[in-house]
Amino acid sequence: MAADCDVLISGAGPVGATLALALHAQGRGCQLVDAAPQPVQGDDRSLGLTTGSQRLLEGLGVWRHLRGAQPIRSLHISERGRFGRSHIHARDHGLDALGAVVPAQQLHDALAAELAARQIPLQRPAAIARMPLATPEAAPTPASAPCSAPAPAQAPGWRAVWLQQAAEDEAPALRARLVVGADGAQSAVRTALGIPRAVEDYGQVALVTQLDAARDPQGCAYERFDPGGPMAVLPRGGRRVGAIWMLPRRRAEAFAAGPIEDFVAAFQQAFGWRLGRLRAAAPLLRWPLSRVRARRLTGPRALLMGNAASAFHPIAAQGFNLALRDAAALARALGDAPDPGADAVLAAYEASRQADHQHVERLTDGLVKLYTQDLPGLSQLRSLGLYGLEVAAPLQRRLVARSAGLVD
């Protein structure tokens, strides 16, 4: 690893890797470290991406690797046992697609391929042990200095970074003008910065698999609100679909421990027969769900992005889309700034991202409450909401523009 760099990104997951590519495209020097010895394997999720996210990944050369990406031509929203339902077609809004479904594993592989092709340095397994602030001229802060040193008026010029397994008396592995924590919901960078976080356990687990349907969904993505928990069926090409069902922990664990056929039978009963018989086409994977929110996005010469900043319930398929907008905004904010970690640059970035973060939070938390809580009157509201969506053209247009990522 080179001694100094403009930006050190901790975490080479989808967010850290995309940010590295965006910065590299601007000629900004950056490096990555990741604690895992190997890139992710076997991630069978089907990610719903907005048209805005697609454009960003196209611009970074990532999209061309995503051969399994499928356009979402329409969105069908319904609730089991209720009158309300809504079917929104891209063509009715002059659009080719409302977004796209991307196989998550293809995304991981595509990002890794592009990082390698651009020779962006990535060290793994490697994790930051300490990252105190250091003045440009002075010797790096002694090893005993706390990582979360109080912020001076303008943070001194570097963060000196020691990686795990370094000896006590060893010099830092490198100095960085800016450290980005893209190291997931348990972010070590967030801990090092002393940024508090709020955690809410949803008490739910997302069960994910692929199914073969008797009928081709023709690019339709289905969102269905079952009393057991919200579910989605997403086109994966031909009659193959991605399935996700967010269930209370105990029921989800029972499915995960049993034969997949039991899960598929219950899924079929809850989803209905609009695509004919559904058959298992991949193993069942489980993702425990909790809400994580860092109190701040930035600290002196550091910032948080992706799950390290906020992890959301997947009900609205927003987490990665939001983080991609963050990555693009950070790349813009750094521009050709001589010092990418300057307080003014980070403050401007954080201010520019507040409204989008608040919107995604409100949308996701609102949907979780609306569709997973059983309070008097909520089910009527749900039906009205879905029915209203079908008949209220301006509301529909707004939803379409947002889900396609055409407005923030």
Residues lying near ligand FAD in the complex (CB under 6 A) are found at 10-16, 33-36, 45, 47-48, 127, 182-184, 188, 206, 208, 287, 306-307, 314, 317-321, 323
State in angstroms the smallest separation of the CB of 226 from ligand FAD. Answer: 16
State in angstroms the smallest separation of the CB of 284 from ligand FAD. Answer: 12
State in angstroms the smallest separation of the CB of 178 from ligand FAD. Answer: 16
Nearer to ligand FAD, 206 or 220 (CB): 206
Nearer to ligand FAD, 26 or 186 (CB): 186
CB neighbour class for 367 (10 Å; exposed up to 12, middle 13-18, buried from 19): middle
Helical spans, DSSP H, in 26-123? 51-59, 104-117
Task: Give the SS3 label for residue 126.
Answer: coil
State in angstroms the smallest separation of the CB of 386 from ligand FAD. Answer: 20
- Residues 98 and 403: beta-carbon distance below 8 Å: yes
Nearer to ligand FAD, 134 or 315 (CB): 315
State in angstroms the smallest separation of the CB of 239 from ligand FAD. Answer: 21
CA torsion 178→183→185→191, rounded to 10°?
-50
State in angstroms the smallest separation of the CB of 314 from ligand FAD. Answer: 4
State in angstroms the smallest separation of the CB of 331 from ligand FAD. Answer: 16
Smallest CA-to-CA distance from 180 within 61, 306, 294, 293 is with: 306
Residue type at 394?
P
State in angstroms the smallest separation of the CB of 217 from ligand FAD. Answer: 16
Nearer to ligand FAD, 95 or 102 (CB): 102
State in angstroms the smallest separation of the CB of 223 from ligand FAD. Answer: 11
Pairwise CA distance, residues 163 & 27, whole Å = 25
Pairwise CA distance, residues 249 & 64, whole Å = 37
What is the Cβ-side half-sphere exposure of residue 241, based on CA atoms within 13 angstroms? 32
- Residues 166 and 127: beta-carbon distance below 8 Å: no
Nearer to ligand FAD, 234 or 334 (CB): 234
E strands within 104-219? 122-123, 128-130, 133-134, 158-163, 174-181, 197-213
Pairwise CA distance, residues 34 & 125, whole Å = 6
CA torsion 6→9→15→17, rounded to 10°?
80
**Length, in residues, of the chain:** 408
Nearer to ligand FAD, 17 or 389 (CB): 17
- Asked if the bond preceding 125 is cis, omega within 30° of 0, the reply is yes
Pairwise CA distance, residues 215 & 238, whole Å = 9
- Residues 176 and 164: beta-carbon distance below 8 Å: no
Residue 292 has phi, psi (to 5 degrees) of -125, 130
Residue type at 155?
A
State in angstroms the smallest separation of the CB of 261 from ligand FAD. Answer: 22
Tokens of 81: 């046992």
